[in-house]
Amino acid sequence: MTPLLQVQDISKGFPGVQALTGVALEVRAGECHALLGENGAGKSTLLKILAGAHRPDTGTITFDGRPVEIARPADAQALGIVTIYQEFNLLPNLTIAENVFVGREPTRGPFVDWRKLNQQAREVTRRIGLDMDPRRLVKDLSVAEQQMVEIAKALSMEAKLVIMDEPTAALSETEVERLFRIIADLKAHGIAVVFVTHRLDEVMRACDRVTVLRDGKLVGSAEVKDIRVDDIIRMMVGREVELHGRGGRVAHRGATVLEVQGLTRMGDANDPHAVRVRDVSLTAHAGEILGIGGLIGAGRTELARAIFGADPIDSGKVLVEGQEVAIATPQDAIRHGIGLVPEDRKQQALFLSLAIRPNLSMAALDGLTERLGFVSGSRERALVERYRQKLSIRMASQEQPVGNLSGGNQQKVVLARWLALNPKVLIVDEPTRGIDIAAKNEVHHLLFELAEAGIAVIVISSEMPELLRLADRIVTMREGRVTGELMRDQATEESLMHLFTHNQTAA
């Protein structure tokens, strides 16, 4: 039997990254196929190519036995490939029926035939078990119901292949069950489903085959009945860790500097995609690098922002050096000696319109200010010069626009901004995102030095090798909760991936 979809030798590069290299994917009619991989493995890029949102640099796509070209989203739809994104593509102020048939409304003359529209919508939503008045507004539906509207839309377009990007991420247990029944029904009608998820137990239950990507390359495909979760995890992480540990440096774990107790942040209750933090407790010690690991959406960044006072919390306590402190704003956190290097350098840390000097000194101006609020130019320049040397920031002059620096040097400027405040706790979210290998190494060594100088360093990283290299101890998170804690010598990529994707503690 020829496969429904055959993707061969697909490559796609973006400026600075090769997202996919020679990837293949084969999907059979009527199967549920899981597409798996770590953060950044290339899953999203592949999905977007199938949806017509990206065009591949090389490679061929065969659909239904014919070679096809998917240049635009409309091409994918015409073929019967429908993609359901995590953030749905629905128009919230329109009704269920209008959404299902958007752009394809039945008409009578120049007018929409409302009766026919609602009747047809009712038929197709009933088929998947959404028994609801099709005239209801989509914005009043739950996430699960909105997802069903998306699936109904796919059915009404006579989809042959439905691609779902993390469809279960925002669903409750019972809603997931219902989704699986719908998928089974789609399969029974010969419709193939490609399913991206981080939850491997779901893969084992709902899917027939898996394809695993790693670093933009194909690792392999397998029948689900032939493999175990451990095999999948090995396929997902399987690379050698080139760099491990502090290269002979020994961590001297000092006193507890930061203690977080039962921190909870539910975020916007109406936002189905809000990443939550649930009852998180942890401690960070002077001289130690604490790693926080987890997949995208696990709540790591949200935890960091909540500790730092960047987002309000619902409950929980933060203690600095044993004293409970009230942190409502970043100013409070800074006063108590906590710093945060945020994950998105350009959006959250840098002042791209300003030069290096004001960028570096921005948080430390209080200490540089003399009478009448004047900033001491000489002390400021001396400060910048000190950190230029200490962090070997490569720059032509202090007055150079910060945007002209390389990513690694920009990151050093942001780190220096915090070091100038002599923090007790420094939280670094994605310390080396988007910077090259050499600079990455420098930043890693810098973090080691900071820990040695007695700062409690907390590192959040989506890259497991980085986490394993930097952290003396790793706390893992999944869906806003802490799922485990490993010392560095216990941690491996496999054991971490278990904790990232399962609830129970694996050792």
Partner 1 sequence: MASATQTGETRNGGIDLFGLLATYAPLIFLLVLMGIFAWLEPRFLLPLNLVNVMRQVSIYGLLALGMTFVILTAGIDLSIGAIVAFAGLAAAAVAKGGLENRFAAGADASALGYGWPLAMLVAILFGTFAGALQGFAITRLKVPPFVVTLGGMSAFRGAALLMAGGGPISGFDPGYTWWGQGYLFTLPLIGRIPVPVVVFLLFAVLAHIVLSYTRYGRHVYGVGGNPEAARLSGLNVRGITMSVYVIMGFMAGLSGFILSARLNSAEAVAGMGYELIVIASVVIGGTSLFGGIGTIFGTVIGTILIGVLQNGLVLNNVSPYVQQIIIGLIIVLAVAFDTFAKSRRRRA
Q: Which of 58, 89, 172, 353 binds partner 1 (CB under 8 A)?
A: 353
Q: Is the Cβ of residue 61 or residue 427 nearer to partner 1 in the bound state?
A: 427
Is there binding between residue 328 and partner 1 (CB under 8 A)? no
Range 169-174 contact pairs with CB under 8 angstroms and sequence separation of 24 or more = 169/86, 169/197, 169/198, 169/297, 170/86, 170/143, 170/272, 170/273, 171/143, 171/144, 171/147, 172/144
- The residue among 8 and 406 lying less far from partner 1, judged by its C-beta, is 406
The arrangement of strands across the sheet holding 481-487 comes to 338-341, 425-429, 456-460, 289-293, 473-478, 481-487
Q: How many residues bind partner 1 (CB under 8 A)?
A: 41
Binding of partner 1 at residue 237 (CB under 8 A)?
Answer: no
Q: Which is nearer to partner 1, 174 or 397 (CB)?
A: 397
287 or 342: CB nearest partner 1: 342
Phi/psi of residue 42, each to 5°? 115, 5
Kindly give the interhelix angle for 493-501 and 229-237, rounded to the nearest 10 degrees.
120
Query: What are the Cα distances from residue 325, in Å, to 16, 319, 473?
Result: 43, 6, 24
Is residue 436 at the binding interface for partner 1, with CB under 8 A as the rule?
no
Which residue type, as a one-letter code, is found at position 220? G
Binder among 56, 167, 316, 342 for partner 1 (CB under 8 A):
342
> From the centroid of its chain, how far is CA 485?
21
- x-or-dash pattern for partner 1, window 406-425, by CB under 8 A? -----------x--------
Of 31-39, 81-89, 256-264, 354-362, the segment contacting partner 1 by CB under 8 A is: 354-362
List the one residue from 10, 194, 236, 405 that touches partner 1 (CB under 8 A). 405
Distance between first and last Cα of the chain:
43
Q: What backbone torsions phi and psi does residue 490 show, to the nearest 5 degrees?
A: -90, -20
Tell me the sheet residues that pair with 339.
426
What are the b/e assignments for 32-65, b being 16+ CB within 10 Å?
bbbbbbbbbbbbbbbbbbbbbbbebeebebbbee
Work out whether 362 is an interface residue with partner 1 (CB under 8 A). yes
**Cβ pair 84, 92 in contact under 8 A:** no
- Taking a C-beta distance cutoff of 8 angstroms, is the pair 472, 251 a contact? yes
Smallest distance, Å, CB 369 to partner 1?
A: 5
Task: List, edge to edge, every strand of the sheet that includes 277-285.
Answer: 277-285, 256-265, 315-320, 323-325
Q: Which stretch binds partner 1 (CB under 8 A): 203-211, 214-222, 237-245, 345-353?
A: 345-353
Residue with tokens 């290097």: 341
Q: DSSP assignment, residue 355?
A: B
Task: In whole angstroms, give the CA distance from residue 265 to residue 450.
Answer: 29
**Binding residue for partner 1, selected from 8, 348, 441, 492, defined by CB under 8 A:** 348
Verify binding: residue 446, partner 1, rule CB under 8 A: no
The smaller minimum CB distance to partner 1, of residues 245 and 358, is found at: 358
Please state the φ and ψ torsions of residue 369, each to the nearest 5 degrees.
-90, 135
Residue 308 binds partner 1 (CB under 8 A): yes
Residue 149 vs 307, nearer CB to partner 1: 307
429 within 8 A of 462, measured Cβ to Cβ: no
Interface residue with partner 1, options 177, 312, 377, 436 (CB under 8 A): 377
For partner 1, the closer of residues 42 and 408 by Cβ is 408
> Based on C-alpha coordinates, what's the Rg of the chain?
26
Position 425, amino acid: V
CA 379, 384, 389, 390 torsion-angle sign: positive
From 168-176, 220-228, 247-255, 350-358, give the range in contact with partner 1 by CB under 8 A. 350-358
Binding of partner 1 by 351 (CB under 8 A): yes
**Would you count residue 296 as binding partner 1 (CB under 8 A)?**
no
Contact predicate 500/474, CB 8 Å: no
Shortest approach of partner 1 to residue 321 CB, angstroms? 20
Please give the single-letter amino acid code of residue 30.
Answer: G
Question: Residue 444: phi, psi to the nearest 5?
Answer: -60, -45
Contact between 378 and partner 1 by CB under 8 A: the answer reads: no
Residue 254 touching partner 1 (CB under 8 A) = no
Q: Applying CB under 8 A, which of residues 326, 373, 389, 489 lies at the interface with partner 1?
A: 373
Residue closer to partner 1 by CB (options 13, 403) is: 403
- Region near partner 1 per CB under 8 A, out of 6-14, 98-106, 260-268, 334-342: 334-342
| Minimum distance from residue 322 beta carbon to partner 1 (Å) | 23
375 makes contact with partner 1 (CB under 8 A): yes
Stretch that binds partner 1, among 156-164, 401-409, 436-444, 450-458 (CB under 8 A): 401-409
Q: Which of residues 175-214 bind partner 1 (CB under 8 A)?
A: none
C-beta of 221 vs 406, nearer to partner 1: 406
Question: Applying CB under 8 A, does 2 fall inside the site for partner 1?
Answer: no
Site residues for partner 1 per CB under 8 A: 308, 310, 329-331, 333-334, 340, 342, 347-355, 357-358, 361-363, 365-366, 368-369, 372-375, 377, 396-397, 399-401, 403-405, 417
